[in-house]
Amino acid sequence: MARRFDAAIIGGGIIGVATGYYLSQEKLKVVLLERKFLCSGSTGRCIGGIRQQFTTKSSIKVAMESVKIFEHLSEEFGFDVEWHQGGYLFLAHSEDKEDAYKKAIEIQRGYGLDVSYISPEEARDVVPSLNTDGLLGAAYCPTDGQANPFLVVDGYARGIRENRGEIVTFAEVVGIKPNGNFLVKTRDEQYEAPVVINAAGPWAAEVCRMVGIDIPAEPDRHEALITERYPKFMEPMVVDYRADGCYFQQLHSTGQLIGCYTPDPKVSGKDLSSTSEFLREMGKRMVRVIPATGDIRVLRQWSGSYTMSPDGSPIVGPTDIDRFYVAVAMSGHGFMFGPGIGRSLAEVVVNNRSSIDISEFDPARQFGELEALK
């Protein structure tokens, strides 16, 4: 016999647990099904950066809402999630990039974001060890930040359980049958619920196909590394947007550097192997941006999936199947968007509308121009 709940959520990363938490606060009895263990997918492999510098209304508003939530999560959860507002610094080494940042800043300021375009000298005030050779300027938002993905997911998961919800790990969903309510099948159990939310990250497209929906959510591989502890010398995430650039930050909690870059060409699929090429190349790219990093030793490297949409923006909301919702294709921004998307989607499920306009994430939209600050 199937166990009954008010909502079944598929996926135990930040999107799934945040959505489940906010639904449980609305008195819905939630079950969250995770194919492995919490944070075993993309969230547990991300580098923990949180920014608001985007170019579309929904992305900016959701990111700003997420930052507001992150600011109070430690208090809400009752333990430190290692939230720290060190900012994001986007470097411009070409006139094209400089123009793109300035246009983006105009849009962002229109929604109330504290962001500015600063000179190379001002950028060195923010990061004194920054190499400014060839630097034209930088986009800087001091309210961007970082947090620990594992602690944030744990806090949301505890909240689900405290609100009489259940989390079932090692429960891969193998079938979904719409029949009035949904019958969600794992290898060991069956769950019945009137609402299903697909937050399955790299497996989102497979889950959608279980109910006859095709959704353009395709994973590709990104590699990352983390170094030994080092005395604190930088506050923001530094983003070098050159074709052979990278992005990295110093963890406020440990002093370690953590970062990655976007591979070109992209590496499609769910393969999570690591390469020696990345290790060599990432080191060179970091040293070019901040020469002082050359003496810092790498502790380990790993890979994770970015589940991409065609336009680089998330796919969130109701689908053609009544009461089957998706929160997928975060395109590398799942952790930073997680609280805002989780709360907004919970509002849509309960009230059929959200306090933040997320219409640009509509699953039925025509996918157009790529997010400029992807």
pLDDT tens by residue, the chain, 374 residues: 899 999 999 999 999 999 999 999 999 999 999 999 999 999 999 999 999 999 999 999 999 999 999 999 999 999 999 999 999 999 999 999 999 999 999 999 999 999 999 999 999 999 999 999 999 999 999 999 999 999 999 999 999 999 999 999 999 999 999 988 999 999 999 999 999 999 999 999 999 999 999 999 999 999 999 999 999 999 999 999 999 999 999 999 999 999 999 999 899 999 999 999 999 999 999 999 999 999 999 999 999 999 999 999 999 999 999 999 999 999 999 999 999 999 999 999 999 999 999 999 999 998 877 676 66
Q: What is the dihedral of CA 283, 50, 239, 42, to 10 degrees?
A: 50
The confidence score (pLDDT) of residue 374 equals 64
Report the alpha-carbon distance of residue 338 to residue 92 in Å, rounded. Answer: 28
| pTM of the shown model | 0.96
Query: CB neighbours of 154 closer than 8 A, spacing ≥ 6?
Result: 38, 39
Integer Cα distance of 99 and 104 in angstroms: 9
Distance CA 228, CA 33 (A): 35
CA distance linking residue 289 with residue 129, whole number of Å: 9
> Residue 3: its pLDDT value, please?
94
Do 9 and 33 meet the contact criterion of CB atoms below 8 Å apart? yes
pLDDT of residue 40: 97
Cα→Cα distances 226→59, 147, 264, Å: 28, 15, 21
β-pair type (3-4, 190-193): parallel
* Residue partners of 284: CB distance under 8 A and separation at least 6: none
Q: Where are the domains of the chain?
A: 3-48+149-217+311-361, 84-142+218-307
For residue 374, the SS3 value is coil
Q: Which fold has domain 3-48+149-217+311-361?
A: FAD/NAD(P)-binding domain (3.50.50)
CATH superfamily of 84-142+218-307: D-Amino Acid Oxidase, subunit A, domain 2 (3.30.9.10)
Cα–Cα distance measured from residue 360 to residue 85, given in angstroms and rounded to the nearest whole number: 27
d(CA 150, CA 147): 9
